[in-house]
């Protein structure tokens, strides 16, 4: 079974329709891979993949800016 980071990578690639950089700390928004309009789709896809509910209060691009930040968010 893929680890959390690889599952997140697959989710982001599906939403962005682009390859995700190998560096897990690279900003996905600053690099242009994601934009703020994609955030709801990204969060929805993460919720589905990990069978969780992300509260609206957490819909902040900073929390989902990189694979490592997403991974840290899910680990809490």
> Could you read off the pLDDT of 16-73 as tens digits, one per residue?
999 999 999 999 999 999 999 999 999 999 999 999 999 999 999 999 999 999 999 9
Is residue 12 exposed (0-12), middle (13-18) or buried (19+ Cβ within 10 Å)? buried
**pTM metric for this prediction:** 0.93
pLDDT value of position 2: 72
CATH of domain 4-75: 1.10.1200.10
What contacts 9, CB < 8 A, 6 or more positions away? 20, 67
Q: Is the dihedral of CA 9, 10, 16, 18 positive or negative?
A: positive
Question: What residue ranges do the domains of the chain occupy?
Answer: 4-75
**33, 66 contact by CB (below 8 A):** no
């Amino acid at each position: 079974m893929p680890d959390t980071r690889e599952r997140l990578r697959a989710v982001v690639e599906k939403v962005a329709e682009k390859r995700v950089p190998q560096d897990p700390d690279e900003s996905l928004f600053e690099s242009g891979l994601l934009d703020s309009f994609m955030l709801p789709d990204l969060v929805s896809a993460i919720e589905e993949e990990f069978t969780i509910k992300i509260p609206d209060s957490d819909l902040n691009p900073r929390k989902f800016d990189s694979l490592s930040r997403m991974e840290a968010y899910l680990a809490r």
